Structure 1
């Protein structure tokens, strides 16, 4: 009798545990750095090899009209992790805080990691953080992250062979003697046509390898509990640093690859920059493959949602990254730093076995602010979704149900001359050079002009008027990152806390 009761309780616990597991899928969110819309094979890339990501796309859904949080690193990440669009987000531009780090998000800014912890998830972040340097309110361990390995500072992440990266709150020494700078030129007497002249920019201890290993270890350690793995890779952001084994296959292709010598500035030189850039993306693909293989090995694949996307479009540094050669943004206009489509429309893949249809495609318009409510609904944590966010859950779209078109998608960026954009349906309005006082609105119909080549503002004055009004009403001014001329000049001040409430969306 006792044995029968024991078996009954074992079965009951197993059933309960099984249900709990099914309702608490693991979350893996992989964020590439400066990866363009057409730089994956599954999004039309013909030269760069991305077999693991292409298989991920084949087993999940491609989102073809998904927008990064902003046009550069830090503000894009702020949108992603807080669910607020750039007109409400705290960080709205890159800003360094020497000697290390970026302008920090304050204590009372609620991040996705903090929300995931509230519903019982172990949280990790591995890669480039960019939302606060050492000792600030923005460091990962103060923003809901249980385990962090990587770079706190975007500038430090310009080299892949540093002397150290961060391991939680302590430096992790790397065996690079000396460390390789992210910005340095050839020696004065070096021959730019001699490949050995570039050997000084090759290190021994590749930081992304360490970061990938730490991410895999996080999965192994937490395989028996729901986890949220945020993997903001530093790749393929320049400098062009990549191990030789990844580079060699591309050197055989005869690309007529002119050396990048850094004569006009930029990051460190490379003898074969086209091959190096392609190899970096393939290295990222390899890291993704390592992670997917581990999920298979640990029997976690079926209970894990995997998201892959990029923080903004391809870099505009054409001598280092030949975006024309790679057709990096395809038919889109603009690159990193621009609110035209090529700067903010990013390749996005979602795999969730049993929920997302393999090989499916969605053109539903969505953005980084949508991941906070989406992922919290996925894990059964809808009750902790903050009211003061701009994101709209994409869960209906992901599981193949119909979903209303979002009312608007708003972006603003105080950098690169000052910019605003808003998309309503197929209409997109954009302002450029606002720092110079320009408030002229360009208007494009993306349904027949995705390349934004035909400004139809003069033909649709009423639409322009309505879109301009919306660009004023859907945002709040920022004293830390003012959008000139709307908010006035930049004020020098220390980081301040921001309130939890925001105006209601129209």
Structure 2
């Protein structure tokens, strides 16, 4: 929709005249009453790999042909907190999924899409910049992969420290996460591990990365809680690179105990940096799986055979993560901070067929454990198995034990959720909604957006357990959108006119019955086709076959009056904030963009109107302000003059619109009773500029 390639953005990020720092907005000091937040992200862990989501069901069937994994600590986390049964990743592959989580942007508006591994995360609001500005200490541990490619390492343009993190310890590049012994580089070569800007891999012999990241996370939390910053809440992004890729094994059993004195420990001794950096690398198989057998031919009369080594490895890697969660949970209890810490556990996309193991090992197949759960699809598919995530939340005293949350949500909703929990205003740029009401049972839940677009040259695997119509099916350009219980899916998209397959994923999670042929779903079909055009902007680095299609107008045509409606939200906001979950101080109607008279100097004005496009064509919009502002068209980002915006800089965007009325939201900070000379104008192709006013904007009375 919006022609703004990531390498040549029209936005210029300098110092705004309000003198907030360019990289991190002015701090809003918070007390320790704000909760700590730990977000744990695994790599390629499937919905079906966790006990409470699917593996326990396989165990209960007592069918020897169905091998199963055990995840006792994650099951306990679910029992003491909440599990999300309908949470989606924003993309079926890691880089765009992680970028959407970090920025709160869905893939219709995100700047990292498709297979743009190592592309730099844009210089804008992130979860870390937001929480840091709210008084949080911030740490990123494990896999990053959003640093931007540069020969001038370690000065990557999007190093985590340039995106809001006080501390980074982990793998910088995406591909480094394909090896779980960085010093030895057993199967994929030696890797670099960065402690902020220093490569410390030479000190990390025999350090299995799941153990390494866990031990460092524990050390960082203990140091923070026992140091002078103990009153400061913290945010930790703990990103495991397992179980993805090489399926290497730990050196030994998980250390007994857990928490402050037991479990994994950081020894800070070169050559044995953690307490499992001894013994023989890539050797330890969990005893629950070492001698496991199964009925491979589904014939009780023949002997069972041993699990292939590949699956002993896969199950051990997942069990190691499970042990780490138990260890971290115990640490929070030992430090008496469990009740003030919100912990989220999830994955970045569906399970993978990748294993990168030496010859002689069976290739990895998610069919062995049913890692995709009760769905079809794996990593790189937009079927439910590629996108549905095994998400758990723990916050003792705030989340009722054993809660199941079945409302649809996405990883991009966590930014708004953490802001809500910390009582920090979330930036207007975010697409997500706060999940705090559904987590705590307090407040009114909002309806979120579930939308995915992705392009991939491969095929859905030819698994016998998948529906015949999608076995070996070419992917190409894909989309997924959800309305209530209904999901629309398109593969090999050729044009915006292509029909969606439509499934009720509540009653039919495996997506076996395509409802699109039913005449009763024709209106839903048309709504889906319109919505996927209205909710996205064009990315020149991720072209789509529907990029040049005019955006459909809103069906509204009656009850419109010239002008704009406005709502005023009181607050000394450090950035342009979202109205979601907020109560307006006052509201009214105006003929044009101007300061509203509310006898309150500090706040944000949200103007809402329908822009009237007299005919189909290209429309260029321009925004210029000496303050801060943000504009949406339908649900897509149109113009951004917020984070790092240079005061007075004019920004432009061109979109193609169908004739009719198009909803516009204009967010503007009002400081000292003024809007900072906000100017928003447009022109049709071949015409002169016109200001947006009651001549071309209309509101619903």
Q: What SS does structure 1 have at the residue aligned with 2:517? A: helix
Matched, 1:72 2:93: yes
CA RMSD of aligned residues (A): 2.5
Is the deviation greater in 304-313 or in 40-49? 40-49
- Structure 1 residues 238 and 475, CA, compared in 2 at 3 Å: closer, same or farther? same
Equivalent in the alignment of 1:285: 322
- C-alpha separation in 2, matches of 1:125 and 1:334: 30
- Offset at residue 322 of structure 1 (A): 2.8
Query: What is residue 251 of structure 1 aligned with on the other side?
Result: 290
Q: Which residue of 2 aligns with 1:3?
A: none
Equivalent residue for 1:228?
235
Task: Name which structure has the greater RCO, CA cutoff 8 Å, separation 6+.
Answer: 1
Match of 2:590 in 1: none
1:310 maps to 347
Corresponding position: 1:476 with 2:537: yes
Tell me, yes or no, if the aligned pair for 2:409 and 2:449 is still in contact at 8 Å. no
* 1:124 maps to 2:169: no
1:448 and 2:468 matched = no
Question: Secondary structure at the residue paired with 1:315?
Answer: coil
**1:139-190 Cα deviation digits (max 9, x unpaired):** 101100111111111111101112331111111124688xxxxxxxxxxxxx
Q: Does 1:48 align with 2:91?
A: no
Q: TM-score, normalised by structure 1?
A: 0.80
Kept in 1: contact 2:534–2:634 (CA 8 A): no
Task: Report which stretch shifted further, 235-244 or 472-481.
Answer: 235-244
Q: Looking at CA atoms only, which structure, 1 or 2, has the larger radius of gyration?
A: 2
Matched, 1:148 2:168: yes
CA-CA distance at 1:24 after TM superposition? 1.1
Matched, 1:104 2:120: yes
Matches within 5 A, 1:22-33: 23-33=33-43
Q: Alpha-carbon deviations, 1:92-113, whole Å to 9, x = none? A: 12224xxxxx011232x21100
- Structure 1 counterpart of 2:516, from 457, 470, 477: 457
> So what's the TM-score if we normalise by structure 2?
0.59
**Contact preservation (8 Å) 1:407, 1:424:** no
Cα pair 1:413 1:483 within 8 Å, conserved: no
**In the alignment, which residue of structure 2 is the partner of 1:338?**
381
Give the secondary structure class of the aligned counterpart of 2:49. coil
Match of 1:430 in 2: 489
Distance in 2 (alpha carbons) for counterparts of 1:69 and 1:429: 15
Q: Distance in 2 between matches of 1:80 and 1:337?
A: 17
Tell me if 1:167 matches 2:210.
no
Distance 1:281 1:390 in 2: 32
Partner Cα distance (1:247, 1:74) in 2: 30
Deviation at 1:241, TM superposition (A): 0.7
Secondary structure in 1 matching 2:367 = helix
2-structure distance, mates of 1:278, 1:368? 25
Corresponding position of 1:194? none
Cα 1:291–1:248 shift into 2, 3 Å = closer
Change in CA separation of 1:65 and 1:228 when aligned onto 2, cut-off 3 Å: same
| Structure 2 residue matching 1:279: 3-state secondary structure | helix
Per-residue CA deviation, residues 34-73 of structure 1 (Å, 9 max, x unaligned), is 1111111121214212111111111101111111121100
3-state SS in 2 of match to 1:323:
coil
Partner of residue 265, structure 1:
none
Identify the residue that residue 213 of structure 2 maps to in structure 1: 211
Q: Is the alpha carbon distance of 1:143 and 1:235 closer, same or farther for their aligned partners in structure 2, counting shifts above 3 Å? A: same
- Aligned mate of 2:107, from 83, 86, 99: 86
Distance 1:414 1:501 in 2: 28
Contact 1:48 1:278 in 2 (8 A): yes
1:272 matches 2:328: no
1-side partners of 2:366 and 2:234: how far apart? Answer: 36
Instruction: List gaps (5 residues or longer) in structure 2.
Output: 1-29, 60-67, 184-191, 253-283, 297-306, 356-361, 458-475, 550-628, 636-662, 664-701
State the 1:244 CA deviation. 4.9
Instruction: Call closer, same or farther: CA 1:320–1:500 in 2, change over 3 Å.
Output: farther
